[in-house]
Amino acid sequence: MLSLVLLISILFSIVSGAPCDIYASGGTPCACAHSTIRALLDRYDGNLYQVTRASDRTTRNIGLLAAGGHANSTEQDVFCAGTTCTITIIYDQAGNGNDLHVGTPGGANSRGNTAANAHAEQVTIKGTKVYSVFITPGQGYFHDGSRSGISTGTEPEGIYMVTSGTHVNSGCCFDYGNAEVNRRDNGAAHMNAIYFGTSCWFGGCTGTGPWVQADLENGLFPGGSNKWNTNQRAFNERFVTAMEKNMGANRFALKGGNAQSGGLTTLYDGTLPPGYSPMKKEGGIILGTGGDDSSSSAGTFYEGAMTKGFPSDATDNAVQQNIVAAGYGM
């Protein structure tokens, strides 16, 4: 009886809390966590993001309605009334200082990026109005890896994001994840990021997407090779959960699901593509661009995190349950 009680207690500890609480309970704590929508830790009571007003270039941090709750979108509306605002910083809720700023120039883009329109898309979370990071080509965010916690080299890592299956294109590359710190293409295995869009990098794809793939540099991989993975499927849902996790030396996995209902589909779980083991991750963070600042992508970002360690399937499933329970809507 004692062992059964203990088992129930362990299972409950994994499924309770916000995504980063769940990851920590599973032994793979968040190294960074970003969202303009909600807190990703139950205890978080800080700022989610910063907006900059076009009329006078002043800034305002947008926080939460309550600790562990949803973004205070009214604060943004009042501050931006009569002008336009852009999202200039997305704060790291994990406490490691891995904040995302408007992207600097890179090897594929000498101009750098512009900031997303702070009012481009509004959605709801349990009926509360909030704003997404609605990225169009040329926009994107970056962190140079100068803070702590992001996996490097062969260190294992997990990544998830909530995105949209209705605002996508085939441009390179709508990514969220680990990338080069110098914004250059430093070769195969220097990246470990989720890609979501309609790009069919190696050809031979079935259907038109959008698909959850891995950007490992010099290729968007639907599975463990440059051949099309027949287990892949498109995610056209309004809200999509995308996951990628990488052991760093011998294994990676891709998962996707409807962020409003149901569970996750395992799209791939197996060996890394030839030439990508061992990984050479650098610890930079990108959102909305490729590792070399390839900036022709479109996509939507609601929330996401990167972990220290390779999350278990039980942890992945619990995070998905939390996302569904969060109540994304229009």
- Each residue of 260-315: pLDDT tens digit? 999 999 999 999 999 999 999 999 999 999 999 999 999 999 999 999 999 999 99
**pLDDT value at 318 more than 70:** yes
Q: What is the DSSP letter of 326?
A: H
Which CATH entry fits the domain spanning 18-33+103-114+134-329: 2.60.120.1060, 2.60.120.200, 1.10.357.10, 2.60.120.920? 2.60.120.200
Q: Answer whether 307's CB lies under 8 Å from 31's CB.
A: yes
User: Structure tokens of 235?
Assistant: 């995610």
> How many C-beta atoms lie closer than 10 Å to residue 49's C-beta?
24
Q: How far apart are CA 4 and CA 76, in angstroms?
A: 48
Q: Is 139 left (phi over 0), alpha (psi -120 to 50) or beta?
A: beta
SS (H, E, C) 180-208: CCCCCCCCCCCCEEEEEECCCCCCCCCCC
- Distances in whole angstroms, Cα of residue 309 to Cα of each of 56, 118, 145, 291, 306: 43, 33, 17, 21, 9
- pTM of the shown model: 0.95
pLDDT of residue 15: 57
Task: Determine whether 45 is an active site residue.
Answer: no
Q: How far apart are CA 192 and CA 211, in angstroms?
A: 16
Q: β-pairing, 100-102 with 122-125? A: unpaired
Q: Answer whether 286's CB lies under 8 Å from 179's CB.
A: yes
Active-site annotation holder among 292, 293, 303, 316: 292
**Alpha-carbon Rg for the chain in angstroms:** 18
Q: Tens of pLDDT along 45-64?
A: 999 999 999 999 999 999 99
Task: Determine whether 217 is an active site residue.
Answer: yes
User: Structure tokens of 120?
Assistant: 């481009």
Beta-carbon contacts of 277 under 8 Å, excluding residues fewer than 6 positions away, are 189, 249, 250, 271
Q: Answer whether 165's CB lies under 8 Å from 137's CB.
A: no
Q: Which of the pair, 3 or 218, is modelled with greater confidence?
A: 218
Per-residue pLDDT band for 1 (boundaries 50, 70, 90) equals very low
Active-site annotation holder among 157, 185, 217, 303: 217
Containing H/E element for 314?
helix 313-326
